[in-house]
A and B are shown apart, each in its own frame.
Chain A
């Protein structure tokens, strides 16, 4: 892990607005190499907005974003992917009428444009080996997969870009507990393989359990941050987010 001064990703006082209404009111956070960082908060707190700002989909109104010491501000989404940040969007968003294989290949779009065919083929086999369920359905249209399978496909597609930093937006939402558990295990496995992860979740308990550190967002602001164990012990977090989770999981 790099020392704090050399974070992989760093956001400083980031503000983002939709039609003049501020959704992010000055977010500062950082992600160190090799970490899993959880970004938790209620509906509408600004979690997806944060990820989309990082991915270059939403423009910043103010603030600074750096990845590997380079500013991300004003870069196009494809440039961000090329720099090594890939997002698995909320709601999976697979290309429903394309086959599983084509979805995965699209994930490597920029690499294929650079003609890295051998590397892409290798990764394709690696990812299919990682998700045997997808391998069985490789020629099936993605739209015919179950929710859990689609989520795996969305993660696989993002991995095809060989990201250094993976942004995951609510990967377990709407999934049966065992499937959600599987996805979280995959996330832990990815980290062991060297991918850094920024994980957005509503499932606060489960995500803080796999994460090293966490940030709690509330209406566009970071209200709490710290190591996961600390957050899990925090009374406010327990009261606001964990009351129900404790019974469920």
Chain B
């Protein structure tokens, strides 16, 4: 954050917003398939970052490998979370399951603290190079990586859910679980895949963010809350909405910190979330709210 003034605030806001968007995309994925808001999504991001720095600084793997391996690892974590906590409770109420994800998030955070301690670890930027100067703002290459990853992941998942058989089946599970079972979809297995993919998306966010903000065991909570704001702003379930919502939250935060007070940085996002929930609960893009009894 070398530059100052409006252009720099905007650039910083968009970068940060792209991360929130990635978290929101993870929320959307689990929600689209299961109806659950997975509050462990922030921990998936944290784990992605921690695995990446571990692979890089401790195991001395090449950077590319250190970024890709965590994706598979956190996918496994996601599948495990489903298998060991959500699946055994599949007959429970949706709210119960959401509370379970809160518990999982606390547990993963605690586990991470035991494994990695309270230190933060660095990861080098994905590509070297000078910062880009654009209209008075300095945009470093890693910011571009963040934005590209957010856009690409959002687009890829949207394509997957809209255009592929398994993607449609995943959506079908959330729209009507009974009907999905009756056409031969293995609902539990689909849910597991949704959690696994959400883990993968979280890992992407975690490792692309690591060079900008050093990961430590406790970064998940704030990311989950901001990402949740972004998802709700955009209308939960919509990935285009998640991108928009993420960038909005990021911008608000950065502009609020720049012009009002950095002490209230987090409050701005939540204030807007409250406004949206009150005035337009279906989100800015007006996605119809949907849930049926399970």
Contacts and interface: CB of A to CB of B under 8 A. Distances in A.
Bound together: yes
Interface of A: 55, 57, 76-78, 81-82, 86-87, 89, 93-98, 102, 105-107, 109-110, 112-113, 157-158, 161
B176 interface: yes
B179 A95 contact: yes
A106 B181 CA distance: 11
Nearest to B189: A78
A81 B179 contact: no
Contacts of B168: 98, 102, 105-106
Interface residues of B, number: 18
A106 B183 contact: yes
Contact of B184 (A57, A89, A98, A109): A109
Among B172, B178, B179, B181, residue most surrounded by chain A Cβ atoms (within 10 Å): B179
A73 B179 CA distance: 21
A29 B104 CA distance: 47
B161 to A, nearest CB: 11
Given A95-B172, A95-B175, A97-B290, A81 B165 contact: no
B186 interface: yes
A106 B182 contact: no
B178 A89 contact: yes
Contacts of A55: 181-182
B182 A98 contact: no
Interface in B49-77: none
Contacts of A107: 183
Nearest to A76: B186
B289 to A, nearest CB: 11
B175 to A, nearest CB: 5
29 contacts: A77-B184, A81-B182, A81-B183, A86-B183, A87-B182, A93-B176, A93-B182, A94-B176, A94-B179, A95-B171, A95-B172, A95-B175, A95-B176, A95-B179, A96-B175, A97-B288, A97-B290, A98-B168, A98-B172, A98-B175, A102-B168, A106-B169, A106-B172, A106-B183, A109-B165, A109-B183, A110-B184, A112-B165, A158-B182
A225 to B, nearest CB: 26
A199 to B, nearest CB: 16
Contacts of B171: 95, 98
Interface in B172-207: 172, 175-176, 178-186
Interface of B: 165, 168-169, 171-172, 175-176, 178-186, 288, 290
A171 to B, nearest CB: 14
A58 to B, nearest CB: 11
Chain B CB within 10 Å — which of A81, A86, A93, A106 has the most? Answer: A106
B175 A161 contact: no
A25 to B, nearest CB: 24
B15 to A, nearest CB: 33
Given A109-B165, A112-B165, A113-B165, A77 B182 contact: yes
A210 to B, nearest CB: 23
Contact of A77 (B165, B172, B181, B290): B181
Contact of A89 (B165, B179, B288): B179
A150 to B, nearest CB: 11
A97 B186 contact: no
Contacts of B169: 106, 109
B175 A89 contact: no
Given A94-B179, A102-B168, A158-B182, 14 more contacts: A55-B181, A57-B181, A77-B181, A77-B184, A82-B184, A89-B179, A93-B176, A94-B176, A97-B175, A106-B169, A106-B183, A106-B185, A109-B183, A109-B185
A86 B181 CA distance: 10
Contacts of B181: 55, 57, 77-78
A93 B185 CA distance: 15
Nearest to A77: B181
Please give me the 7 A-B residue pairs with the lowest Cβ-Cβ distance, nearest first: A81-B184, A78-B184, A93-B179, A110-B184, A95-B175, A77-B181, A109-B183
